[in-house]
Amino acid sequence: MVLKKKKEVQVDAFLLDHQQLEKLKRFSKAEEQNLASLLLCCAQLNNGIQQIQCIKQIMPLVKKMDQNSACDPMVKACLEILGETYFSLGVKNPLKKVLASSLNALPEQLMVLATESFACCLREELQTTDVYLYRKVLDNLASCMEDFTLGRASIKNLFEEVLQFLQKSLLDIQEENRQNHGNRIVQTQLMHDLLIAIKVSMMLVQKLQENIQGSLWKCQESFVWQSMCSLLKSSTNFLMDETLLQTVQTTSGLAVILFIKAMYEPVEELPSLVSDLLLGSMEHAGVPAWFARNCGTLCTGELPGSALLFLCHGALAMLEWKNGSMGGDGEKLLLDIVSVLLSLSSELKESSMATSLSRILAVWTSSAIAALASGSPDLKIKLNGNSDIIGKLLEYIYTHWEHPLDAVRHQTKLIFKNLLQIHRATVAGSSEKSDPFFARLVKRLLSLEWHVKGKYASLGCLVECVGTENILQLDRTIPIQILDVMNDQSLAPYASDLLETMFTNHKAHFTLSFQESTWIDKWHDVWVSPLLVILCEGNHDQTTYIIDYYLPKLLKCSPDSLTYMIRILQASADANLGSHSTRGALGALMACLRTARAHGHLELSNIMSSGLVSTECIKQGLVHQHNQVCIDALGLLCETHRSTEIVSMEEMQLTQFFMMYNLSSQSPSVRQQICSLLRKLFCRIQESSQVLYKLEQNKTKQDLLESSTERHPSGILQQYKDFMSSVCDRLFKALFPGSSHPTRFSALSILGSIAEIFYVPKGQAQVFQLEQEIDSARVQTLIQCFASTFEEVKVLAFGLLMKLHDVAFNLQDSKTLDLLFQAAMDLSTSTKPYDCVTASYLLNFLIHHKELQHISLGKWVEHSPQMKESASVCPVEKNTLAVIKLLLVSVEEEILQAEKSLLQAAASFPMYGRVHCITGALQQLPFNNLTLVAEWKEMVARLILMSYKLSAVVSPVVQSSSPEGLIPMDSDSESASRLQMILHEIQPQDTNDYFIQAKILKEHCKAESEKLTDHRPMESICREMRGKERQTCDVTAQMVLVCCWRSMKEVSLLLGTLCKLLPSQAACEPSEGLITVQQVGKYFLHTLCFRSGSEGSFQKTF
């Protein structure tokens, strides 16, 4: 189980102005705490959480006051400040709700005074004239009406002023939106403000309707009436305006019906009025003048589809449908609404409209179920399963149950489920299992292909009505058919949900029908036996999806069925061992056991001690030829639903047995699963060991003596330590020189997990420490992994050494470290491209040694006086700077040599290796916290200059249209002639004397040039003199190309790394960055964009 990290609550503290603070100080008493001193103390806190605790102390203090406290000026002043504070707080600030909750408990004698204070604050809020500040006022009005006694009382006292503000805010926001046409950001903000204004208007009418009733019907010329008419007119306009957000239109549809309901008289005629609106049969002569004046656009012509849709929603949500309270006209309106909705379904195809329509249809089905509770015979006939309305709804379901939108599919399922409930309500008292409508539906659904996804959810709903047994009587092979479908992952979740519904219902049916447990065999024959057959013989995908989706649900429904599965599979395990392509009975058994244990249905020790499953059986699974069977067997040992469950001796022995044979798996996914499962086992050991340490501390000595030695907490802890030590020993042995890449990858990954899991926090006992298993030979073994040609092995070895770097360095003497540093420097200039990667990892490892400068670097570079003096400088930063300086000096010298002869550079010191090591070293440095800023600025400048120089040296080859021809590869004179022609073509833009003429480079260039002129056969391999020993080295065209192209790539990577890691500055800004935009921009534009033929180099820099 994964525990979510608890989110820390952020509460903004409130602040009082100077005048408020002075007022509180004036009333505060030093000798005792009163309300003023408490508020003053609260206001002086900077933490919102602490202020909440302080506010909660207000009511206990107020309740201790005497009855005459209402006349106390201090109390009045405090209530005013509380009111001002409440209205100043943001709507999402928890302080607002806490303050409201506290004030709800205000004593009766203070309610009048508090209401006056809050009403005064609210009146100030209502005087706001800035459209962009309306939102704050609206939020405060909404908060006042939500479970806040003082707030509602204040609005009641200022009812007309609140109505006036709402009326004004709707008009002002609409006008502001019109003036900002085209400004999407401002319009979006205004749309949301408008939405809140409409919702607050509806809240006001719903929660304070008694205020309207008092004056609304007495005189239609009253201010309240006129305000209500204005609100209705505005809502109607919003409903018809398709340029507004859909949520605004939807809410406006609700508001229109709500306002009409509040204003229209007689109430009995309201359903007929709404029906006429929806059907477009409204006549002006038959409606009141105020209605025609404010809702005239709804009465004339044909309404847009969106307006009709949202009016239907408003009618369903705002009118009372329970128990047929609106009579026959209400029933007619219900039927008219569904007719309108079904007609709109063929018109409104846009995704948001289709979603809204499906949701409103689902609301209609819920309203229909509520209306049928009245028992109306006429409504039952019209909503029976055989009626036209239900038939049309079914067609809608069949059309939309595979809609591309999840929301539409979900609502379609809900509509179908409610539709079945509607039919059940119309035939209450008759047998549902033999009902013709249900029987017809079942046959219709079963006749469809199983690839129709909507079929599954609908059949699941029908199962709840007619029962699984009745469906199986039509076709006993349905479970097998559904299982066969589960080789398609897109259908597997639907199929497993249907199967779960069916076997759960089937079990409930058997349990009620038969008192004894004789039915379980029949149930197993239907639901378990087909499963076991497929697990043994099915293809990989099918068995995987069945194990993932179906098996856990089956075991949850019937945990006791596991024994049946084990018995059946054990009986055929010897005869059906499986193969590379099928799991066989043994593989099926391992899968069932693993799933059962992972979900808490199995105790491994119990089945092993009872002999139900033998150790030999599990061993066979651990070395099975089918990879997934091995993984399932290992999962059986490693996975459990309790993270602190003690690991038994048998589990540890079997795990060691597994590791003997499976570390060298060729499949990357299998290796990944092995590492993941073993990590779970190690976590269990670590977490259960902490529990054992606590048990050991809490037990008395007598308890320890009385318990068996083997199951002592200390005994188990020792077993854990021995097991982990043995595992590490096996893993380090697997890293022998020449071991395969899969073996190294697995061993290093597992060792990395061990180092991470068994990390020792201060003050906590730890059952195992990897550091204690490390000696100098094992450190050397890890370092040797850097020589692997596989990058991921280097990464894993480096990561592990970093976790163990303290002990690793302590185990290495200075001579060994010096040799490692020398090897790294040699490898950094190797002609083999992968050697420089090894050098980079070696240097990055050595950089973390605190004494590197004294042991190795001292022989190579002089130390900066500032670096010597500053003891506060991080050793990693000092070492990185020194190593990069050394590499930079070396590559600068090599560039000078390369300018004279690229052949010599390619043969003896390809420069890209040094640059690669510099880039790698930079990536180890914490650039957000540098100390030697001046030195780094100088270093970065030199690195950029070096990059330009190196790029210039190799550019002629990289930019050449046919660089392969720059070195003669054939011995015939014709090839040499073609080469000479190429050289003449590119000579004007080249300054490197290597390109003056085609030659086989030796000390005597002239002789070779004469050979070329005479068209005599040439050597196909160039030999370059190297060093004072004049040792000849073979140089091929490919070597030169690799040298040049890799150098260009590494330069690009270096510049990209500098741009990414270092703080940069524009040329006009103060000099605070380490690198300027112009420095890299010049190289990017001129060298890579315009001249380089290396797309890879361009991408690396970009």
Whether a cis peptide bond, with omega within 30° of 0, leads into 833 is no
Please state, as a whole number, how many other Cβ atoms lie within 10 Å of the Cβ of residue 896.
Answer: 11
- Report, as an integer, the average pLDDT of 349-355: 93
Q: What is the DSSP track for 960-1027?
A: -S-GGGGS---SSHHHHHHHHHHHHHHGGG---GGGSS----SS-HHHHHHHHHTT----SSEEEEET
pTM of the full predicted structure? Answer: 0.78
pLDDT digits (tens, 9 = 90+) for 734-758: 998 889 999 999 999 999 999 999 8
Residue 1026 pLDDT: 37
pLDDT tops 70 at residue 705: no
H/E run at residue 750 = helix 741-757
> Residue 1065's pLDDT is what?
53
What mean pLDDT is predicted for residues 165-182? 93
* pLDDT attached to residue 492: 95
Mean pLDDT of 699-713: 58
Give the model's confidence band at 1101: pLDDT under 50 very low, under 70 low, under 90 confident, else very high: very low
**808-814 LR contacts (CB < 8 Å, sep 24+):** 808/774, 808/779, 808/782, 809/848, 809/849, 809/850, 811/774, 811/775, 811/776, 811/779, 812/776, 812/779, 814/851, 814/855
Measured distance CA(572)–CA(509) in Å, rounded: 31
Confidence (pLDDT) at 106? 87
Which range of 171-180, 566-575, 602-611, 934-943 scores highest in mean pLDDT? It is: 171-180
**pLDDT tens by residue, 45-65:** 888 888 888 888 888 888 887
Distance CA 753, CA 681 (A): 11
- What are the tens digits of pLDDT across the range 1019-1057? 333 333 333 333 445 567 778 888 888 888 889 899 888
Q: What is the pLDDT, as a whole number, of residue 714?
A: 86
Nearest to 426 by CA among 477, 470, 390: 390
Output the pLDDT for position 868: 47
Confidence of residue 964 (pLDDT cuts 50, 70, 90): low
Q: How far apart are CA 662 and CA 675, in angstroms?
A: 11
Cα–Cα nearest to 148, from 82, 107, 96: 96
Q: What would the pLDDT profile of 92-131 be if each residue is shown by its tens digit?
A: 899 999 999 999 888 888 888 999 999 999 999 999 999 9
Continuous segment of H or E residues that includes residue 1076: strand 1075-1076
% the chain with pLDDT above 90: 47
pLDDT score for 923? 87
No. of helices (H) and no. of strands (E), the chain: 58, 4
CA pseudo-torsion sign 220, 226, 230, 231 = negative
Work out the mean pLDDT of the chain and round it to a whole number: 83
More confident residue, 534 or 810: 534
Over residues 551-576, mean pLDDT: 90
Alpha-carbon span 236 to 242, nearest angstrom: 12
Q: Give residue 624's pLDDT band: very low, low, confident or very high (50, 70, 90).
A: very high
- The arithmetic mean of pLDDT across residues 960-967, rounded, is 58
Label residue 839 by pLDDT band (50, 70, 90).
Answer: very high
The model's pLDDT over 187-207, given as tens digits with 9 standing for 90+, comes to 999 999 999 999 999 999 887
The yes-or-no verdict on residue 910 having pLDDT over 80 is: yes
Beta bridge partners of 1025: 1032
